[in-house]
Amino acid sequence: MGKILFYGMVCLLLSSCNERKTSNAPKETAAAFFSMDSLPKPSAVNNKAATILKDWKEFNDLENAFMTLYNVDNREDLVLVIEDLIEKQKALEASDYPETFDKPQIKSRQKVFKTFVLKTKGNLEYREGVKSSTMEMIQAYNAYRSQFNVLVNSVLDTSLISTN
């Protein structure tokens, strides 16, 4: 009986001394970062809107910064692109809008885009999944761009409905 107890204790001691390499911290690997190829492309702006937008320097800067999003390979690159988008968005917000696009519809879409850029930045800082917030940011940007088309193609005379 003593030998069984002795061998049982030795087996218990050896099995408890094994090193366990499990960790509760999330591991960030290159495979965990999502592919930018899976992101939707920006919506197209029609020719009328494009002719107005080509002279708006701040919008073109934001457009160029946004297009670099599709060249991101890792988390650090995405952080840099998001920081650049925040700077360009602030410059756009402070700029003079073209008369055609100096409307609440454009400014509200721009604020929604800013919200999702900041949400993506927060997810990057806290190392949470950024794919969903990046998708939402792109959808907000596409809504912003499509609003240019809506305003240019609108044939509604706003002077008829004003209450002045």
Domain count, the chain: 1
The answer to whether residue 18 is domain-embedded is no
Question: Is 138 within the bounds of a domain?
Answer: yes
- Per-residue pLDDT, averaged over 85-97, amounts to 96
CB-based contacts of 107: which residues, under 8 Å, 6+ apart?
97
Q: Which whole-number Å values give the CA distances from 47 to 61, 93, 118, 146, 153, in the listed order?
A: 19, 23, 31, 12, 11
Give domain status of residue 11, yes or no. Answer: no
> Structure pTM?
0.74
Mean model confidence pLDDT for the chain: 86
CATH code, 128: 1.20.120
The answer to whether 3 and 102 are in contact (CB under 8 A) is no
User: Quick check: is 141 in a domain?
Assistant: yes
pLDDT tens-digit series, residues 134-143: 999 999 999 9
Q: Is residue 34 part of a domain?
A: no
Give the Cα separation of 44 and 54 in Å (integer).
14
Indicate whether 109 belongs to any domain: yes
Does residue 3 belong to any structural domain of this protein?
Answer: no
Does residue 133 lie in a domain region? Answer: yes
Domain boundaries, position 66: 46-153
Query: Rounded mean pLDDT of 74-101?
Result: 94
The predicted-structure confidence for 20-53, as pLDDT tens digits, reads as follows 655 554 544 444 566 777 888 999 999 999 999 9
Name the percent of the chain lying above pLDDT 90: 62
Residue 144, burial from CB neighbour count under 10 angstroms (0-12, 13-18, 19+): buried
